[in-house]
Structure 1
Amino acid sequence: MTWAGVPCGRARPRERIQTRAYRVSPRRARAVRVSPVTRSIRRVFAESAATLLAVFAREIDSLERMSRLLVSTLARRRTVFFCGNGGSAAEAQHLATELVVRFVRNRGALPAMALGADGSMLTAAGNDLGFDRRRCGPPARAACR
């Protein structure tokens, strides 16, 4: 939704709020209180960013080796299998789905499977490519191409 599509009578209060927000001086902006929820969200995001940076610094060599192995496996037309437990099983499904259906651009299916389930792959393929079985086929068949 954009504000351009909202009738003028309803858009004016929103526009007034935005206008006032832009007129707040830097001195007054510092005095604005930050809610405990906002502080908590900022803290969680900062901790997450710090964790990602630490893992990247510590595991960059492992990540590079894993990336090279993934590329070489796919280049040999071999199937990549992902697995996980709990939330990691969902991440495994997500990774396999990105390879089989599409990631950034339209392309043929790459051979990948999540060892947990194929529900995510089925719905993503149907959503992205259509629910026509002739075009997509079962995920297992797409993964074994």
Structure 2
Amino acid sequence: MTATETRSTTDVAADHVAALRPTIDALAAEAPRLASWGGALADRLLAGGRLLAAGNGGSAAEAQHLTAEFIGRFDGDRRPFSAICLMGDAAAVTAIGNDYGFDEVFARQVTAHARAGDVLVLLSTSGRSANLVRAAAAGRSAGATVWAMTGPGPNPVTEAADDALVLPGVGANVQEAQLVAIHALCRVFDAVVRERIGATR
């Protein structure tokens, strides 16, 4: 390629999609972990536990997507389950950030909401967000089980969690694969719930 030549926008798009393939391949190898998580989550929520989720930026949106699937529905009609997105309360997030610092915006909410038997899911592409590390510590102190979905490890978030789904790749590709992981988790959860109690219409 000469100095005057540029790559086509089609090449840019194709390269992005191609870069996702190794991340998705790594995710496919994690199917047993996602199946285990989905079954455990069904056990916890059917017993009255709650799902809490947190992330920053695009991962905040994915955490909100995750909790919405449990309050609403994913794979057919069923009863709603308790799921709290820790970015959803703007007043709480900004008050905590203002009074205690941004590193505490999730940990303080976890301390308020989490109980033994709950599950806390932390999403991060870098795995290095201090507020998620502190949230993990707060979750474990409360007796909740902490799962992390991150990019390449080891990293501080996975080390603070009880279990982790760690994927290779750049941030954008990791985040895209995490959405697939969320949907796989929801599909397993719904299958287990349907098997145990049937669909509620």
The TM-score normalised by the length of structure 2 is: 0.37
The TM-score normalised by the length of structure 1 is: 0.50
More relative contact order in 1 or in 2 (CA 8 Å, sep 6+)?
2
Structure number with higher helix proportion: 1
Structure number with higher strand proportion: 2
Structure index of larger Rg: 1
